[in-house]
């Protein structure tokens, strides 16, 4: 800012026209670049992200301006946050610098106000903080070299440009201070360095610093489009347009039968080409910062598989940029398909849909829906999927379960327990809750033990419940997330018809996948239910005094967070509260727990696929648990997690550790 315009005037005479030329050319070049990316957004498929504006503004303030997710990263959170906040504060400085080019005293009215004084001091605080953080970022990249951060000359260039902006700001303030202008503490402190310079020399220091400052801003501005630092511009709107539906919910594909009845060879289901993306998915690619947070704890990346969420974003972004001209010329349909030319099939099928990448992303890039849409195209249009999935699909279609075991055996687990079927209940109002057993609880040996334990808990608590027996089909979770949307919708519609026929309102289930699907996705088919996971149901029974835990269970126990219970639905405390209430239990947390918990490897249909690339995910999860908490028992709350972790214990030869579901432990602790 230039409060001594009669002395400091960096655009005197012919320099004024030089400034105008530099300003106009720089601005027009930037606008032209941005316009191209805007036109790409307009070419993409439509998507409604303009609902619930109030909530969007609130989340934008919290996560974009408040930097909530960034600050959760202890190693770099404050660094990035202070640089971002510094840019926000210094925006006024940027405006005033360019205003000076047109009139040296243009900002006097602001500087001489009380608000201007406060701003000068605030600016100086952030100039110092940003300078420190930029130096730290450079040192971190050069010497610490975090594994998730790739080497990048562009990153060093951006840090250098920011550093130049801070230095020139300080040098302008130092010259202004000596000449008697209004500055805050940084300018006065640095004034001693130039105190002996003549007024003409000071004016020269100021003018050179000003020119470097404004040119650097224009260079920086035009560096952003097309680079990973484009997020400086797109991050705030991308956070604003984030998905507001539950994390575990996958968007429905409407009118599937009509789509497949069309004679068009290019059936509009899923994603095959870059032209199949929506404008929000394009904006996700624009906004990826390549920070690596998405794959830092990605189970596939940690186990040396081809899939890396960061690489997927990076490759898709560069494919989009490389073919910008063809797309804008209307030749997008002639471009090669994404799978095969940009991403491999292995990358598409490796994803467990655990959600760790989305939970970690500071700019809310949505990876899971994109992966599932690619699977939908492979499965429903190309009939191209891992061969082992065929048995699971056939089983769900013929017998309502992925193991393809006869429907008649679905209720055998309950033999001798005296559990009524809904079809046998004369008055459905007499039933407190429907127990949705799920496929694992009905057919898997370990799952049956969980179902039996939970049923006995409810019986001892006096809960009036019933099951569907053979009328219960697979919830469809694994079909949908493996790309077989048509099969999922068939199963969902059958289940909703049965549930609504019995006028079911309240459901309890032992499976997080069924819980998530029925709670969030059955509403599309008219199924509006109160769905409760058995960990929360048990916690409520305990709170209400309907069950008591009097028997001591003397064990060190580590609770493993299921992805579909934890990250997708935010249920972390209930199972831990129950374990803490059991006398003798010593709860030991693994280093990767709660929202940072490592996936067991079963989600996204992976339960029914071979894992022949890299290290097995369940082995990696077991390794993390054993190294950081050394438990005697691992407690799960998902039958699929139970299978994966039990198998890991057996396959790796780990001794003196068992795996049980929360319901089994609670039953042991009851009278």
Q: Is residue 519 part of a domain?
A: yes
> How many domains, the chain?
4
Co-location of 166 and 20 in the same domain: yes
Q: Is residue 242 part of a domain?
A: no
CA–CA dist 213, 193 (Å, integer): 20
Q: Is residue 172 part of a domain?
A: yes
Produce one character per residue of 363-379: b if its CB has 16 or more CB atoms within 10 Å, e if not.
bbbbbbbbbbbbbbbbb
Please list, in sequence order, all residues whose beta carbon lies within 8 angstroms of the beta carbon of residue 368, skipping any fewer than 6 positions away.
250, 351, 353, 355, 357, 358
Of 362, 381, 400, at which residue does a domain stop?
381
CA–CA dist 641, 654 (Å, integer): 17
Co-location of 374 and 392 in the same domain: no
Contact 444, 403 (CB under 8 A): yes
- Compute the average pLDDT of residues 494-514: 97
Co-location of 594 and 633 in the same domain: yes
Of 381, 398, 424, at which residue does a domain stop?
381
Largest CA distance in the chain: 100
pLDDT at 1 over 60: no
What pLDDT score was predicted for residue 4? 57
The band of 602, judged by pLDDT with boundaries at 50, 70 and 90, is very high
Q: Lowest mean pLDDT of 144-158, 422-436, 443-457, 543-557, name the range.
A: 144-158
DSSP category for residue 268: -
Percent of the chain at pLDDT above 90? 80
For 389-448, the DSSP string reads HHHHHHHHHHHSSTT---GGGTTGGGTTS-PPBGGG-S-GGG-SEEEE-HHHHHHSHHHH
Co-location of 353 and 443 in the same domain: no
CA–CA dist 486, 465 (Å, integer): 31
**For residue 663, what is the domain's CATH number?**
3.40.50
- Compute the average pLDDT of residues 357-384: 94
pLDDT at 2 over 70: no
**Cα 56 vs. chain centroid, distance in angstroms?**
16
Three-state secondary structure readout of 339-350: HHHCECHHHHHH
- Of 507, 481, 228, nearest in space to 351 by CA: 481
Co-location of 500 and 565 in the same domain: no
What pLDDT score was predicted for residue 417? 96
Q: Is residue 247 part of a domain?
A: no
Q: Is residue 245 part of a domain?
A: no
Q: Is residue 9 part of a domain?
A: no
Q: Is residue 3 part of a domain?
A: no
Q: What average pLDDT is seen over the chain?
A: 93
Of 476, 504, 536, at which residue does a domain stop?
536
CA distances for 652 relative to 123, 286, 515, 602, angstroms: 57, 43, 31, 18
Co-location of 648 and 592 in the same domain: yes
What pLDDT score was predicted for residue 430? 87
The band of 7, judged by pLDDT with boundaries at 50, 70 and 90, is low
Co-location of 320 and 438 in the same domain: no
CA–CA dist 578, 549 (Å, integer): 9
Q: Lowest mean pLDDT of 263-277, 345-359, 450-464, 621-635, name the range.
A: 263-277
CA–CA dist 670, 648 (Å, integer): 29
Tens digit of each residue's pLDDT (9 = 90 or more) over 402-417: 999 999 999 999 999 9
Co-location of 323 and 338 in the same domain: yes
Co-location of 392 and 513 in the same domain: yes
Q: Lowest mean pLDDT of 99-103, 301-305, 483-487, name the range.
A: 99-103
- Of 599, 597, 372, nearest in space to 477 by CA: 372
CB atoms within 10 A of CB 398: 11
Alpha helices in 140-198 (DSSP H): 153-178, 185-190
Lookup: tokens for 74? 């202890």
**For residue 293, what is the domain's CATH number?**
1.10.1060
Radius of gyration of the chain (CA): 30
CA distances for 549 relative to 391, 465, 667, angstroms: 42, 22, 8
Co-location of 27 and 168 in the same domain: yes
Lookup: tokens for 55? 């909530």
Produce one character per residue of 74-91: b if its CB has 16 or more CB atoms within 10 Å, e if not.
eebbbbbbbbbbbeebbe
What pLDDT score was predicted for residue 151? 80
**For residue 430, what is the domain's CATH number?**
3.40.50.1860
CA–CA dist 303, 619 (Å, integer): 9
Three-state secondary structure readout of 434-489: EEECHHHHHHCHHHHHHHHHHHHHHHHCCCCEEECHHHCCCCCHHHHHCCCHHHHH
- Of 478, 458, 476, 479, nearest in space to 467 by CA: 458
Co-location of 82 and 20 in the same domain: yes
CA–CA dist 456, 663 (Å, integer): 9
Co-location of 522 and 563 in the same domain: no
Q: Give me the residues paired with residue 509 across strands.
A: 436, 533
What is the residue range of 640's domain? Answer: 555-669
> What's the chain's length in residues?
671
Please list, in sequence order, all residues whose beta carbon lies within 8 angstroms of the beta carbon of residue 262, skipping any fewer than 6 positions away.
none
Tens digit of each residue's pLDDT (9 = 90 or more) over 217-273: 999 999 999 888 899 999 999 999 999 998 889 999 888 877 666 656 567 789 999
Q: Is residue 298 part of a domain?
A: yes
| Residue 32, helix vs strand vs coil | helix
């Amino acid at each position: 800012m230039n409060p001594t315009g009669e002395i400091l005037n960096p655009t005197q005479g012919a320099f004024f026209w030089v400034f105008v030329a530099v300003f106009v050319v720089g601005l027009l070049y930037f606008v032209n670049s941005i316009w191209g990316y805007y036109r790409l957004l307009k070419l993409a498929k439509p998507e409604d992200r303009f609902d619930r504006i109030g909530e969007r503004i609130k989340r934008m303030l919290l996560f974009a301006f408040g930097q909530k997710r960034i600050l959760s990263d202890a190693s770099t959170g404050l660094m990035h946050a202070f640089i971002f906040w510094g840019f926000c504060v210094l925006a006024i400085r940027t405006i005033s610098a360019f205003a000076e080019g047109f009139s040296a005293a243009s900002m006097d009215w602001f500087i001489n106000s009380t608000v201007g004084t406060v701003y000068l001091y605030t600016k100086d605080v952030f100039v110092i903080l940003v300078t420190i953080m930029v130096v730290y970022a450079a040192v971190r990249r050069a010497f610490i070299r975090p594994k998730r951060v790739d080497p990048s000359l562009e990153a060093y260039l951006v840090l250098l440009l920011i550093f130049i902006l801070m230095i020139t700001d300080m040098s302008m303030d130092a010259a202004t201070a000596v000449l008697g202008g209004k500055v805050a503490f940084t300018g006065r402190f640095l004034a001693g360095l130039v105190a002996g310079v003549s007024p003409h020399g000071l004016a020269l220091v100021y003018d050179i610093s000003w020119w470097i400052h404004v040119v650097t801003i224009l260079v920086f501005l035009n560096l952003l489009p097309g680079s990973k630092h484009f997020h400086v511009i797109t991050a705030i709107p991308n956070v604003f347009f984030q998905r507001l539906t539950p994390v575990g919910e996958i968007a429905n594909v409407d009118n599937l039968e009509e789509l497949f009845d069309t004679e068009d060879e290019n059936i509009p289901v899923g994603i095959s080409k870059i032209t199949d993306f929506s404008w929000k998915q394009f904006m996700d690619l624009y906004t990826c910062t390549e920070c690596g947070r998405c794959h830092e704890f990605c189970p596939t990346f940690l186990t040396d598989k081809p899939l890396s969420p960061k690489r997927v974003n990076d490759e898709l972004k560069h494919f989009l940029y490389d073919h910008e001209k063809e797309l804008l010329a209307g030749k997008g349909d002639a471009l090669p398909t994404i799978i095969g030319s940009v991403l491999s099939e292995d990358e598409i099928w490796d994803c467990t849909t655990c959600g760790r990448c989305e939970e970690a992303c500071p700019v809310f890039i949505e990876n899971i829906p994109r992966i599932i849409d690619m699977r939908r195209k492979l499965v429903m249009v190309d009939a191209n999927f891992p061969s082992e999935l065929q048995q699971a699909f056939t089983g769900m279609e013929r017998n309502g379960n992925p193991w393809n075991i006869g429907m008649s055996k679905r209720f055998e687990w309950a033999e001798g327990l005296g559990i009524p079927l809904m079809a046998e209940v004369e008055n459905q109002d007499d039933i407190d809750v429907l127990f949705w057993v799920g496929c694992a609880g009905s057919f898997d040996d370990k799952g049956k033990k969980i179902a039996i334990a939970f049923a006995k808990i409810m019986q001892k608590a006096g809960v009036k419940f019933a099951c569907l027996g053979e009328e219960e089909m697979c919830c469809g979770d694994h079909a949908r997330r493996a790309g077989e949307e048509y099969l999922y919708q068939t199963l969902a519609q059958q289940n909703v018809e049965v549930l609504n026929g019995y006028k079911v309102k309240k459901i309890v289930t032992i499976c997080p996948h069924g819980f998530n699907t029925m709670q969030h996705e059955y509403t599309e088919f008219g199924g509006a239910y109160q769905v409760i996971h058995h960990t929360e149901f048990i916690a409520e029974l305990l709170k209400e005094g309907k069950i008591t835990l009097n028997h001591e269970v003397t064990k060190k126990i580590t609770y493993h967070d299921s992805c579909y219970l934890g990250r997708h639905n935010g249920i972390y405390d209930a199972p831990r509260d129950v374990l803490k209430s059991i006398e003798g239990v010593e709860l030991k947390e693994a280093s990767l727990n709660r929202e940072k918990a490592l996936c067991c490897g079963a989600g996204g249909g992976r339960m029914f696929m071979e894992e022949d690339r890299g290290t097995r995910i369940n082995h990696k999860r077991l390794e993390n648990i054993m190294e950081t908490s050394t438990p005697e028992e691992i407690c799960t709350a998902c039958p699929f997690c139970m299978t994966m972790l039990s198998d890991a214990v057996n396959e790796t030869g780990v001794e003196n550790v068992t795996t049980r579901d929360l319901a089994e432990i609670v039953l042991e602790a009851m009278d």
